[in-house]
Structure 1
């Protein structure tokens, strides 16, 4: 998919709406793309921001709050997600997320850009955090009592920039683990989620190829394809993209 950033952001929003409404119904507010100041990025979120309410046979039990910010990639051609937040709350009236999947491209070299954070308590884990070493500034602040030893402060890596979980993954996990009942059938919901997941992963494969074209050439050649290099030379790999935490 290509086009202006606005066109791609609107298509992304429409795809999210289709996927979510296939699970929870058309009463769920649609996602919309809105330009941020300056026009070089778009937010994609529900309007109104009521959240995605997931129910079982007895009524609502969970709520998703989903938010994206999108820009163009380094080629100024394809949509790239700059940040994404998928927060899972108890419904109704849940104020603190149970857990949250987040992606922040510019979070920093020493924290995973794609991560999950769990909210709750775990006495043994929190004691281990208090008794941690001091080989990094972050751990040192915690060991010296300058940073709270909370489960929710840990950033668990989940696949990096290219292979992070998607909204479809989170929703299917909630169907399986919490017995969410989709508006149609579980089978139909899983199909829609799988279709959207495949579309996302195909796009990510294309992006990963641009990160490491030499690896794509190697694999295709091993499979019997004949790959002709461009006349102006092969595009270089971008190892910094492959090494990012």
Structure 2
């Protein structure tokens, strides 16, 4: 199933400056019980010349790129125009923009950056780098999962119960979810 939202026109100072394009494709997850995102694209196009500025992509089946990534297409002209018309204080500095990448728990790890530099920048790598990256990334994601479970224990218990685990609630009641983990940008 594909969901494509009509372009959302974004304005700054009352002027149409950009369009946000959203496309998501869904499939059944590996258990064939739940709907899962197969692909998603959030793309910002400058209206002045219809060029892409950036896009957040997710591709569940990705093999030659990270499954979730940010691509910056911005060319100084279109981006500077968009930012200056919107009243940005530094319209000519791409570095003045801070692209979100998933918050504290779902941010990229060092191994993601290392693989990016090796694959996309084509930098040299030592023999066995892939194994080291995979092992480090797995450690990171398992640690982050454990932290996420601590942040949202009721959700974790609900999922585990759905998988057939028997969960006993703490005698003093359900632990509270971490508002910081749920709400911080």
TM-score by length of 1: 0.43
Whether the 8 Å contact between 1:168 and 1:193 is mirrored in structure 2 is yes
Contact 1:121 1:151 in 2 (8 A): no
CA–CA distance in 2 between the matches of 1:193 and 1:178?
16
Q: What's the RMSD between the two structures over aligned residues?
A: 1.9
Deviations 1:119-140, CA, capped at 9 Å, x for gaps: x9622101110001xxxxxxx5
Residue ranges of structure 2 left out of the alignment (5+ in a row): 1-69
Structure with more strand by fraction: 2
Correspondence for 1:225: 165
Tell me the matched-pair count: 113
1:122 and 1:208 map into 2 onto residues whose CA distance is: 38
Partner of 2:144: 204
Which structure has more RCO (C-alpha within 8 Å, separation ≥ 6)? 1
The runs of 5 or more residues in structure 1 that have no matched partner are: 1-115, 133-139
Partner of 1:113: none
Who is 2:96 aligned against?
Answer: 153
Residue 244 (structure 1) aligned with residue 178 (structure 2): no
Contact 1:213 1:237 in 2 (8 A): yes
How do 1:35-46 residues align onto structure 2 when only pairs under 5 Å count? Answer: none
Cα deviation for residue 148 of structure 1 reads 1.7
Aligned partners of 1:162 and 1:208 also within 8 Å: yes
Tell me the distance in 2 between the aligned counterparts of 1:167 and 1:240. 23
Matches of 2:162 and 2:83, distance apart in 1: 47
Superposed CA offset, 1:138-184 (max 9, x none): xx5x2xxxx22111111111111110011110110111112222222
Tell whether 2:64 aligns with 1:128.
no
Residue 213 of structure 1, aligned match among 148, 153, 178:
153
Residue aligned with 2:120, SS? helix
Provide the C-alpha distance between the structure 1 equivalents of 2:130 and 2:76, rounded to a whole number of angstroms: 33
SS at match of 2:174: coil
Deviation at 1:232, TM superposition (A): 2.3
- Normalised by the length of structure 2, the TM-score is 0.57
Which aligned runs of 4 or more in structure 1 are off by greater than 3 angstroms?
none
What pairs up with 1:166-205 in 2 under 5 angstroms?
166-184=109-127, 188-205=128-145
